[in-house]
Amino acid sequence: MNNNKSFKKSLGTGLAIALTLFVFAYAFQVTDVDFGTTRDEVRQTSITRVLRALAHPDIFEYETKELNVEIPFYLPCSESEMTTPDAFPADEPFLKASAYCGEASDAITIEGFNMPTYTTGPVFFITSSGVKKQLDNFQTDADGYFISEIELPNRQPVAEAQAIRATVRTNVGAPKWSDNAIATWDKIIETIFIALLATFIGTLIAIPTSFVAARNLMVENRSPLTSIAFSIIGWIIGVWTGLQAAQRLVALFAPVNENLLLGLGGLILSIGLLYGILRWSMPTEDIEKPSLGIRILSSLGIALFGIATLIFFGASFRTLGATLIEPLGIFGFLGNFIFQIGEIIVMLTPGLIAVVVGAILGNILSKLGQRTSDNMPAGQVRLINIILASLAGAVLFVLLGSVVEWFYQLSNPIKTLYWPAGVGAALGLVLALLSPAKNALPTGMIFYSITRTILNGTRSVEPLVMAIVAVIWVGIGPFAGSLALALHTVAALAKLYSEQVESISAGPIEAVQATGANQLQTIIYAVVPQIIPPYISFTMYRWDINVRMSTIIGFVGGGGIGFLLSQNINLLDYRAASAQMLAIAVVVASMDYISSVIREKYV
Amino acid sequence: MLEIKNLSKRYEGGPLALDDVSFKVPQGEFLAVIGLSGSGKSTLLRCINRLIEPTAGDIIWNNINVTQASDGELRTIRRKIGMVFQHFNLVNRSSVLTNVLSGRLGYVNPAMSFFNKFPQNDIDNAYKEMERVGIAEKAHQRADELSGGQQQRVGIARAMMQKPAIILADEPVASLDPVLAHSIMQHLEKINKEEGVTILCSLHFLDLVHRYADRAIALNDGKLMFDGPPSEIDDDKFREIYGKEAERVG
Ligand SMILES: Nc1ncnc2c1ncn2[C@@H]1O[C@H](COP(=O)(O)OP(=O)(O)OP(=O)(O)O)[C@@H](O)[C@H]1O
Ligand SMILES: [Mg+2]
């Protein structure tokens, strides 16, 4: 019995070992493992050459001085006009040869004296017309002496004296940065800023996203179907109206683009009005809730002057920046910065207006839906639900259909318009029929799942692939790299952040909610203080990764040092490439160190 | 007047944690809630300010139906109901002052509060409340640097910042030693007597109930088993509330 067991056990072990061997054998096969090639002589010399080049990074260069020491030489020997050196100077470099004339292929010994010590250099044969042919390399010893065996070249016989020359190059003066070092420096700075920008923008977007992607913050957000359907319809109408209005408004405000004073004046005025309205509509403490009229008026005012501020902001910053670039001289980049900020605002304005109008309308309608659901009898609510949910479902699916249309250009309204509308309406109808009329549906969890899905999808795309797409969009250069890295940073950080939010203690949240705080206040007072240390730690970690990534994102045209590196590798200039690798190593190591110090300090 | 009518709560997939509980609390009363662990005390207190959504029943407070209130209305109701917790539930990394001021969040302009800006008036009041419980000199320390008893006083100061009509105290002294327990209970008693704040306080120790409460209600398995003055809890009642094998201690 016992024997049997141990036999089985050893059989199992044997099989496992055999299987492992088999797996590894197959792995060798598919990965083309061939250690024979490593012994190949040609390959060995090339790897030696490359490794030696890598060990000599091209960073410094010197002014060089060339020392040429010559002796006359006759090939072939000519009796008539041969001159041979007879006296040798005591402390100047000179050459001595075993013979001063000879036939092609003769072996001759050359000795050098008083040369610079411990240097190397070539020995040339110089023809009468000045053509050089290298015969050997020499190496001097502590006394500046060398000896070299050469074989005379096979040349057309010439009567006049030709020469054998030893050349030594010596560095003079202080070392200077080589061109390659300067280019490397430029690009490594660019690399660091790509990482900085990507991390900053990515973090900025990832923080709010992480709250939506945190289960514990979203799980309590529920609303009844009536309110959801109302709010979807409100959002869609609002966004559409907002986009239309934005076009008109941007056209209306076009003169502001030309006139800087108008722009700045408008900006100051609208910020002032916005602030005034905010102060007026929201007293520092509200004991009584303001009346509905006042609330509507103030939100309209806020929306109006908010939009005006946005438009003036974009326009005036653009003009201001553009006019500043010239006068600022070398600080022109500050002007460009202002201009680009304006440009970002201008780019975002229509979208922001659409979102604002959508949010207002969606909110109002959602409240209306909530009231309807709270105050009407269940039968009527169900009827309203059936109509509205079908409508909302149809509209949502038509939107999806138009996305499909954009990608695949089916040009077939049956497939991208009628079918989606029908399916959406049917789904809405089913939902309205199945769920109890007044039940609150988990809207928070829906947002949570959508955000999580998008984040997971985005995260699984490598930044290098994103960079390829970005390069096509905005062209080769660091901007493409920053965009790609920023996008990946959002996805990666939002996930990590949201896991931190999910692991915070619920007690403080409960306590702050109990005081009557709203959701945003709860996040700021109970959630944020708890997540600051892990957020800092993860941001530093990501900054680290982004520095690494930005060093290679140039391989696909994303700017930074990677571009230089790949170029030099392709040109087989390994000494230059070595300088870039060194720069990358230094930067990555120091970022590593800095981030660990910061993490230790704040966490 | 706070009125609880036929309140029931069933956690998803669980048994009834509260089973048809009804009682009334006149303004200014000190009401103790007693019962075994798991009997539903925390659930009851959290249903009153709807930190937990009740499954059925009504909570009527000064003619306002709390259970029917919309989100906005609920926040204005909550700001008049302070809450004190067994584990204090302070925001550890924030200062004591910020913790106390967060009691005003239901009142202040939200836009200003995002930047941690509170009206001077509130800051002055915060110092007054901290002085009342004897922690004013700790105002700028981090909350987690304080001892348990001090943290609970911060919790009381935070609740008092709300100028509450009711304080819900969920086992406020269960994680404190007996001496500290009395000091915290005395603070609550003072607030009750001097400011007329209604206090609903769940307690584990009967001597504390006898010493501080005007009235007691007892829960067992979510059902209301007793409602009356603490002096009426005799041995029979005690067994009914805590089960047959229970022994009186203290
Ligand atoms: N979040 C929850 N989800 C599911 N069941 C819960 C939850 N909270 C409490 N319960 C259950 O509800 C019942 C009542 O719990 P509750 O916390 O109200 O009791 P308690 O009287 O406060 O107990 P303790 O004295 O230990 O604090 C218990 O059976 C508990 O298991
Ligand atoms: Mg409890």
Q: Work out the pLDDT band at A291, boundaries 50, 70, 90.
A: confident
Higher pLDDT: A2 or A265? It is A265
B109–A284 C-beta distance less than 8 A: yes
CA of A114 to the centre of ligand 1 (A): 98
pLDDT at A285 over 80: no
Closest Cβ opposite residue B87 in set A287, A507, A526: A507
Do A166 and A209 sit in the same domain of this protein?
no
CB-CB neighbors (< 8 A) of B78 in chain A: 513-516
Q: Is A150 exposed, middle or buried (0-12, 13-18, 19+ CB in 10 A)?
A: buried
In a domain, A19, yes or no: yes
CA of B45 to the centre of ligand 1 (A): 11
Do A210 and A159 sit in the same domain of this protein?
no
pLDDT at A286 over 80: no
A520–B110 C-beta distance less than 8 A: yes
Range in A196-205, A569-578, B86-95, B234-243 with the lowest mean pLDDT: B234-243
In a domain, A500, yes or no: yes
Model pLDDT for residues A375-428, shown as the tens digit of each residue: 888 888 889 999 999 999 999 999 999 998 888 888 888 888 899 999 999 999
In a domain, A382, yes or no: no
Do A106 and A171 sit in the same domain of this protein?
yes
CB-CB neighbors (< 8 A) of B158 in chain A: 511, 515
Radius of gyration of chain A measured on its C-alpha atoms:
39
Do A495 and A601 sit in the same domain of this protein?
yes
Do A465 and A556 sit in the same domain of this protein?
yes
B89–A511 C-beta distance less than 8 A: yes
pLDDT of residue B45: 96
Closest Cβ opposite residue A507 in set B68, B72, B85: B85
CATH number of the domain residue A120 falls in: 2.60.40
In a domain, A391, yes or no: no
Shortest distance, CA B90 to any CA of chain A (angstroms): 5
Q: Is A469 exposed, middle or buried (0-12, 13-18, 19+ CB in 10 A)?
A: middle
In a domain, A128, yes or no: yes
CA of B45 to the centre of ligand 2 (A): 9
Average pLDDT over residues A230-254: 90
Closest Cβ opposite residue A517 in set B70, B105, B111: B105
Mean pLDDT of chain B: 92
Do A551 and A487 sit in the same domain of this protein?
yes
* Ligand 1 binding pocket includes B220 (Cβ within 6 Å): no
The ligand minimizing its distance to the Cα of B43 is 1
Most trustworthy range by pLDDT among A129-143, B106-120, B210-224: B210-224
pLDDT of residue A73: 87
Q: Work out the pLDDT band at A290, boundaries 50, 70, 90.
A: low
In a domain, A575, yes or no: yes
In a domain, A321, yes or no: no
Mean pLDDT of chain A: 88
Share of chain B above pLDDT 90, in %: 78
Q: According to DSSP H, which parts of A553-573 are helical?
A: 561-570
Q: How far is the C-alpha of A403 from the C-alpha of A401, rounded, in Å?
A: 5
CB-CB neighbors (< 8 A) of A517 in chain B: 75, 102, 105-106
Model pLDDT for residues A552-587, shown as the tens digit of each residue: 899 998 889 999 999 999 999 999 999 999 999 999
Do A162 and A185 sit in the same domain of this protein?
no
Is A106 within 8 Å of A74 (Cβ atoms)?
no
Q: Work out the pLDDT band at A514, boundaries 50, 70, 90.
A: very high
Q: Work out the pLDDT band at A132, boundaries 50, 70, 90.
A: confident
CATH number of the domain residue A573 falls in: 1.10.3720.10
pLDDT of residue A571: 93
Q: How far, in whole angstroms, is CA A458 from its chain's centroid?
A: 14
In a domain, A207, yes or no: yes
**Cα B51-B56-B58 angle, rounded to 5 deg:** 75
Q: How far is the C-alpha of B85 from the C-alpha of B87, rounded, in Å?
A: 5
* Ligand 1 binding pocket includes B192 (Cβ within 6 Å): no
Average pLDDT over residues B223-235: 90
pLDDT of residue B249: 59
CB-CB neighbors (< 8 A) of B70 in chain A: 370, 374
Model pLDDT for residues A13-38, shown as the tens digit of each residue: 999 999 999 999 999 999 988 888 88
Structural domain boundaries, residue A566: 180-221+446-603
pLDDT of residue A80: 66
pLDDT of residue B250: 47
Q: Work out the pLDDT band at A288, boundaries 50, 70, 90.
A: low
Q: What is the ipTM of this complex?
A: 0.94
Is B198 within 8 Å of B28 (Cβ atoms)?
yes
Burial call B113-148: b when 16+ CB within 10 Å, e when fewer:
beeeebbeebeebbeebbebbebbebbeebbeebee
Do A20 and A99 sit in the same domain of this protein?
no
Number of domains in chain A: 3
Do A211 and A143 sit in the same domain of this protein?
no
Model pLDDT for residues B128-146, shown as the tens digit of each residue: 999 999 999 999 999 999 9
pLDDT of residue A598: 84
Q: How far is the C-alpha of A245 from the C-alpha of A242, rounded, in Å?
A: 5
